[in-house]
Amino acid sequence: SQQGEEDPQALSIQEGENATMNCSYKTSINNLQWYRQNSGRGLVHLILIRSNEREKHSGRLRVTLDTSKKSSSLLITASRAADTASYFCATDKGSNYQLIWGAGTKLIIKP
Amino acid sequence: EPEVTQTPSHQVTQMGQEVILRCVPISNHLYFYWYRQILGQKVEFLVSFYNNEISEKSEIFDDQFSVERPDGSNFTLKIRSTKLEDSAMYFCASTAQTGELFFGEGSRLTVL
C-alpha cells in the first residue's frame, strides 16, 4: 500500500512567510522522518519524530505527528530562499530501519 | 562530519551492460541501503544489508541486482544487464541504529 503521501505537491510562498507541508500514511509506524532534497542532490535528514511523540522542534522546523489520523505536518517558519527544495516524509515501520517514502512537496521560496 | 560517499556521480551505459555503483558508508554504521529515484518520482527502497547479508529487498530488486560488501568499507550495487527503465538516481544510505539515515549524493545512471 502507498505510504507517506505529502500535500501539497507544490508550494510557492514569499520569503519570510511560513510553509506548512502535510504527510499522511496508512499503516502503523515506529517513527516518521522528514528529509530535504535540493535539486539533483542527495537527501538530507531534517527531523525524526517517534510514534509516541506529538511535536518536535529543530531550529525553524516544527513537526507534529497525529497517530490517530496517521498524519504529520512540517512547518518551516520565517522561510528563506535557501529553503527552496523538495521535502519528503518517510515512515519507518521498525523493520531494519527501512523507510517508505512519499512523493514529496516541492517548495519554492520567492525572494 | 562523516559522510556517505558514492561513485561515480554519473554513469552512462548501453542497455545490456553491467554496472557497478560504489558506496562508502559511514564507518561505524551497521545498516546499509540502496534506494533509487526515477527523475521526478518518489524514492523507492531497493535493499537493506546488515551483518554481511541482505536483510530485506523490494520487488524492484530482482535477479539482475546484487549487493556486496567486499572489504568492510565499500558497499556496492551491481546491475548485471541494464535496461532502459533502470535509468535513475541511485542513493546509498547508512544508519547506526538511530533510525536516521545518512545519504550519499547519489549516482545518476543513464541507460541508452
Looking at the predicted structure, is the pLDDT value of residue B77 above 50? Answer: yes
The more confident residue out of B51 and B15 is: B15
Report CB contact under 8 Å: A48, B106. no
Average pLDDT, chain B: 93
How many CB atoms sit inside 10 A of residue B83's CB? 11
Domain extent listing, chain B? 5-111
A:B CB pairs within 8 Å: 60
Q: What average pLDDT does this structure show over B37-57?
A: 91
Which three-class secondary structure state does DSSP give residue B15?
Answer: coil
The answer to whether residue B94 neighbours chain A at the CB level (below 8 Å) is no
Q: What average pLDDT does this structure show over B86-90?
A: 97
pLDDT digits (tens, 9 = 90+) for A55-110: 999 999 999 999 999 999 999 999 999 999 999 999 987 777 788 888 899 999 99
A3: pLDDT confidence band, cut at 50, 70 and 90?
low
Give the distance, in angstroms, between the CA of residue A54 and the centroid of all CA atoms in the same chain: 14
Looking at domain B5-111, which of 3.40.50.720, 2.60.40.10, 1.10.287.3510, 3.40.50.300 is its CATH number? 2.60.40.10
Domains defined for chain A, CATH in brackets: 5-110 (2.60.40.10)
Q: Residues of A numbered 10-29 whose beta carbons fall under 8 angstroms of chain B's beta carbons: which are they?
A: none
Q: Which of B3, B34, B43 is best to mutate for the A interface (most A CBs within 10 A)?
A: B43
Report CB contact under 8 Å: A41, B95. no
Q: What average pLDDT does this structure show over B10-24?
A: 97
Per DSSP, which regions of chain A are E strands? Answer: 5-7, 10-14, 19-24, 31-37, 43-50, 55-58, 61-66, 71-76, 85-92, 99-101, 105-110
